[in-house]
A and B are shown apart, each in its own frame.
Chain A
Amino acid sequence: MSHSPSQALRPMSSSALLKFIRAYGQETAVLLSLLVIVVVVSLINPNYLGPANINNMVAGNAYIAVAAIGMTMIILLGHIDVAIGALIGVLASIAGTLAVSGYPVWVCWLVPVLVGVFIEAVVGVLVAYARIPAIVVTLGVVSILKGGLITVTQGVWISNLPPEFLIAQFRLFGIPSPVYFMILLTIAAGVWMRYAPFGRAIYAVGGNVEAARTVGIRPERLTVGVFALHGMFAGIAAVLFGTQLQVIQSTVPNNLELTIITASVIGGVSIIGGRGTVYGSTLAAIFFSAVSSALVFLNISAYWLRAVLGVLILATVLADAMRRRQIH
């Protein structure tokens, strides 16, 4: 834990700055990349920085940022969840089905979150106690969820959603509600992971399981708890995803799970666990929508988005590998 973020809180001298960059290096890199894009594109076309476009860029990927909070915790523990995309689709369909069946909106919002917690807790039990690698468990879960979703919905889109259900379309001071969810949940999770014992234990277990065990942490319980928490974020993300438009499709965006995992990784989470923050993953999610919007402003094919993200992943993983070599 030689790179604990606590170093960043000391007064800023030049060496403190250096330490800050070492602790939050990747987060800073994403933030600066975001600023570079914003400056360059707005110089080419000032409309890029119009209030409406800022709103769209920050709100557009908010559900991805929320899901990436949970994914960040999972990756910190040294696990992965490739079922998150399918899970979001299923939970959104559950929310929509309840809404069109006339249940009170709070039920429609709460049930998908609880179902998400339940499903991910089961995954957590299989990972922690049955010791099946998370990628295997979640690959199985993908098939169950995707197959189940198409079978149950018969591919029919859910429409006629009641307006009061569409929480992602609510606005406060002109800012869409997903932005508030994203910011508040990111800060809450970030603070919790830094100060709460349970939260700090995530880093301890992700860094070195056996060391964590000797100081009294029970990694199995922690793993189940973190998966359950991840399920909660997936549920919230699903509600935001499902209420952004007026129809809920029986399919989810292609590669949604990859986009979420990419946000976590580009945000600085080490893919083998132990380091990274949720601030980075949220910044990365905003960065994605800024790039996506910039591609339209610059008349570039959206295929470049995939290429840009691919390069960023490689650069990030390489940087992480180099940092690790420095430590050892």
Chain B
Amino acid sequence: MKKLLCLTTGLVLMAGTAYAEDVWTGGDGLPTSPLACDGSPATLTASPYNGATVQNAPDLKGKQISIVDVPKLIGIGYFTATAKGVADAAKDLGNVDAKTDGPTKANIDDQITLIDNYVTSGVNGIVFAANDPEAIAPVLKKALSKGIHVVGYDSDSTPDAREWFVNQASFNGVAKALIDNIASQIGEDGAFAIVTSTFTTPVQARWISEMSAYTAKCHPKMKWLETVEAQEDNILSFNQANTLMNKYGDELKGIIGMTTVATPAASEAVKQANMCGKIAVTGLALPNAMKPYINGGCINGVVLWNPSDLGYAATEVLRAAVDGTLKPGDTSVKAGKLGDLKIVDGSVVLLGDPVTFTKENINNFDF
């Protein structure tokens, strides 16, 4: 028992002395490319095409084609929205038969079996959101070898297993949207903190690095207090947000949630502490989880992309690839009502700026 006590004391003391160092943002330390403060488009450096090539594809230019959309799973609001985008694009194009079919849980084995069945039964194109970038590659390569066009969205495969990938949002675009959003609410000299999943989650660490760089470039007086981890655990996120408020008191003006779990949990913490209007919360979040806070006026806005547009863009890109109007080396692609979309990193089509969900538009989204 005494040992236990000594141990605890020791750990606390050690922690107190050894870790009172600089603010650790939680970024990944890789090079960053913050966007311009005024929103002028980034200069894109062209890189050679690194996608795959479809083999022995029949010439279907302008002809009726049948495609299948295979999301990570079906039955959740997010992928119901992407499926709607796929159907809308098919309707706008007029010469595409599209159907959506996916596993009932986000399971890579089920997804592979499903795609394999469609390859065997014969379709002209596949759009997919991969449950695993490596594991899905062989079945996609099989499709390509049989003349089937393949385009990814949301979650990529390895580049050599598909022709194009539609990326929902660039890392620096998300970073700019989040930091500009919080800056507009707490002012240029406000202090904010971050609730993330873990410091080792690649996507969050990348966003945070870009946010840190963008803050330094465009909002240099804002104070980044701290980044705390909360896994993808909503109660822990709630507790961590509370602890941040208690630790910093009046100094803390804003909280940014880096996961769709952390953002509503932080909003709830602010609401239950009666700090609506005093502490701003923004972050990445699904609209349905945020409706109580945004419609209730406690939270101004959160950031994500529009999943319907994502499915729409993937379908347009697939059609363009079939028609031959999108070729390796191109720097943009026409995507119907979405206009021209940029191509970066060889074979990645950018959907565009993230969407900010506010009181004005949040009720138009259901996912």
A interface, CB within 8 angstroms of B: 21, 25-26, 28-29, 32-33, 36-37, 40-41, 44-45, 47-48, 50, 52-53, 56, 60, 63, 150-151, 154-157, 159-160, 169, 241, 244-247, 249, 251, 253-254, 289, 292-304, 308, 311-312, 315-316, 319
Interface presence of B63 (CB below 8 A): no
Interface with A: B69-77, B138-146, B176-184, B325-333, which one? B69-77
**B236 partner residues in chain A, CB cutoff 8 A:** 253, 292
- Decide if A154 touches B76 in the complex (CB within 8 Å): yes
With A40-B16, A60-B242, A245-B235 as contacts: A297 and B247 at CB distance below 8 Å: yes
Q: Tell me the minimal C-beta distance from A43 to chain B in angstroms.
A: 9
Interface with A: B4-12, B108-116, B347-355, which one? B4-12
With A245-B265, A245-B268, A299-B226 as contacts: A53 and B235 at CB distance below 8 Å: no
With A32-B5, A36-B9, A159-B288 as contacts: A56 and B230 at CB distance below 8 Å: no
B interface, CB within 8 angstroms of A: 1, 3-5, 7-9, 11-13, 15-16, 19-21, 24, 73, 75-77, 104-106, 198-199, 226, 228-236, 238-240, 242-249, 261, 264-265, 268, 272-273, 286, 288-289, 291-293
Closest 8 CB pairs of A and B: A154-B75, A53-B246, A253-B233, A29-B1, A33-B8, A56-B242, A302-B229, A296-B243
**A44 partner residues in chain B, CB cutoff 8 A:** 16
- Decide if B238 touches A159 in the complex (CB within 8 Å): no
Please pick, from A26, A40, A254, A311, the residue contacting B9 in the complex, using a CB distance under 8 A.
Answer: A40
Chain B's closest residue to A323 (CB) is B1
Chain A's closest residue to B23 (CB) is A299
With A253-B233, A296-B244, A315-B3 as contacts: A160 and B292 at CB distance below 8 Å: yes
Q: Tell me the minimal C-beta distance from B260 to chain A in angstroms.
A: 9
- Decide if A299 touches B264 in the complex (CB within 8 Å): no
In the complex, what distance in Å separates the CA atom of A37 from the CA atom of B4?
Answer: 13
Please pick, from A53, A246, A319, the residue contacting B243 in the complex, using a CB distance under 8 A.
Answer: A53
Interface centre among B230, B243, B244, B291 (most CB of A within 10 A): B243
In the complex, what distance in Å separates the CA atom of A200 from the CA atom of B13?
Answer: 41
**B264 partner residues in chain A, CB cutoff 8 A:** 245-247
Q: Tell me the minimal C-beta distance from B33 to chain A in angstroms.
A: 27
With A246-B264, A249-B261 as contacts: A300 and B233 at CB distance below 8 Å: no
**B8 partner residues in chain A, CB cutoff 8 A:** 33, 36-37, 308, 312
Interface of chain A, helix or strand or loop or mixed?
helix
Chain A's closest residue to B367 (CB) is A156
Chain B's closest residue to A25 (CB) is B1
Interface of chain B, helix or strand or loop or mixed?
helix
Please pick, from B16, B21, B235, B268, the residue contacting A253 in the complex, using a CB distance under 8 A.
Answer: B235
Please pick, from A26, A52, A151, A298, the residue contacting B104 in the complex, using a CB distance under 8 A.
Answer: A151
Q: Tell me the minimal C-beta distance from A89 to chain B in angstroms.
A: 11
- Decide if B1 touches A254 in the complex (CB within 8 Å): no
In the complex, what distance in Å separates the CA atom of A82 from the CA atom of B239?
Answer: 24
In the complex, what distance in Å separates the CA atom of A116 from the CA atom of B24?
Answer: 43
- Decide if B75 touches A156 in the complex (CB within 8 Å): yes
In the complex, what distance in Å separates the CA atom of A244 from the CA atom of B261?
Answer: 14
In the complex, what distance in Å separates the CA atom of A48 from the CA atom of B150?
Answer: 55
Please pick, from B76, B230, B292, the residue contacting A246 in the complex, using a CB distance under 8 A.
Answer: B292
With A245-B265, A293-B239 as contacts: A159 and B4 at CB distance below 8 Å: no
Chain B's closest residue to A156 (CB) is B76
Please pick, from B19, B265, B272, the residue contacting A298 in the complex, using a CB distance under 8 A.
Answer: B19
Please pick, from A33, A169, A299, the residue contacting B20 in the complex, using a CB distance under 8 A.
Answer: A299
Please list 23 pairs of residues, one from A and one from B, whose beta carbons are closer than 8 Å in the complex, sorted by A's number. Answer: A26-B1, A33-B8, A37-B8, A40-B13, A47-B247, A52-B245, A52-B246, A53-B242, A155-B76, A159-B289, A241-B235, A247-B234, A253-B236, A254-B232, A294-B12, A297-B247, A298-B15, A299-B21, A302-B228, A303-B229, A311-B11, A312-B4, A319-B3
**A155 partner residues in chain B, CB cutoff 8 A:** 73, 75-76, 105-106
Other contacts beyond A56-B239, A154-B75, A295-B15: 20, CB < 8 A: A36-B12, A47-B248, A48-B247, A50-B249, A52-B242, A151-B104, A155-B73, A155-B106, A157-B289, A160-B292, A244-B235, A246-B268, A253-B234, A292-B239, A296-B226, A298-B15, A299-B226, A302-B231, A302-B240, A304-B11
